[in-house]
Amino acid sequence: MHGLSCIDISYNELRGLIRNSTGIHYNLVDALQGNKGLCGDVDGFQHCKDYNDFWKNEEGFKRKQSKILYEEVIRATNNFDAKYCIGTAGQASVYKAELPSWEIVAVKKFHSPHPDMVVQQAFSNEIKALTELRHRNVVKFYGFSFHPRQSFLLYEYLGRGSLAIILSNDAAIDEFSWTVRMNVIKSVANTLSYMHHDYFPPIVHRDISSKNVLLGLDYDAHVSDFGISKFLKPDSSNWSEFVGTFGYVAPI
């Protein structure tokens, strides 16, 4: 496969030797995690006989990197200055941050430095959903910081912002053709189908609205904001209180 330039083989329960290939580039931990039986030498990193041992060895490095990343986010947003804010929701605000050691990311910062139980549940839901869902139309999740002063989540930055912004901008609407709109609809529908039927246990998003559909520069759609999502319990009844964004949920 000479045209292959990147690869992600995480969570496939693979075993055996990993052979080095200078033509393939990937983040070592992200691309290989969840494969307990892998071993070998890749991009200068010596793997242990058991990949779990390697993962444990990486933990100290990851903690150090996490501290550096936290400080970079604070500097890149000037301690979350309003001029870097690109959106605000009920429990959090989203900031654009250009990190020197990484790339441009979206940072979702929760308003309270000491979240109450509702906010903690939303924080936990987002992390659980985004670390487990594997779909090209789910926003990419890079990490989080649960800190006494600042709690935030890191996502990929999508250049056109939310669908709500596009729909409320007369200039942007001119480029938002019916073909593009149909592609957005199909992408969101495919994502929900995956969450409801192809993932176990099924996940119900519970807040699909134009604010929670983000668009890349090519108008590729990504579902975001899983704070009130619900993991359905198999072999039991499931119910919940009325939740969601008014105007996007069926009347009671």
Active site residues: 207
Task: Give the dihedral sign, CA 168/169/174/176.
Answer: negative
Running DSSP on this structure, what letter comes out for residue 159?
Answer: T
Q: What is each CA distance from 236 to 129, 199, 201, 239, in whole angstroms? A: 20, 17, 12, 10
Task: Give the dihedral sign, CA 147/144/201/14.
Answer: negative
> Cβ distance 195 to 126 under 8 Å?
no
Phi and psi at 119, nearest 5°, equal -70, -40
C-alpha to C-alpha distance for 20 and 33, rounded to whole angstroms: 17
- Residue 251 token pair: 């009347």
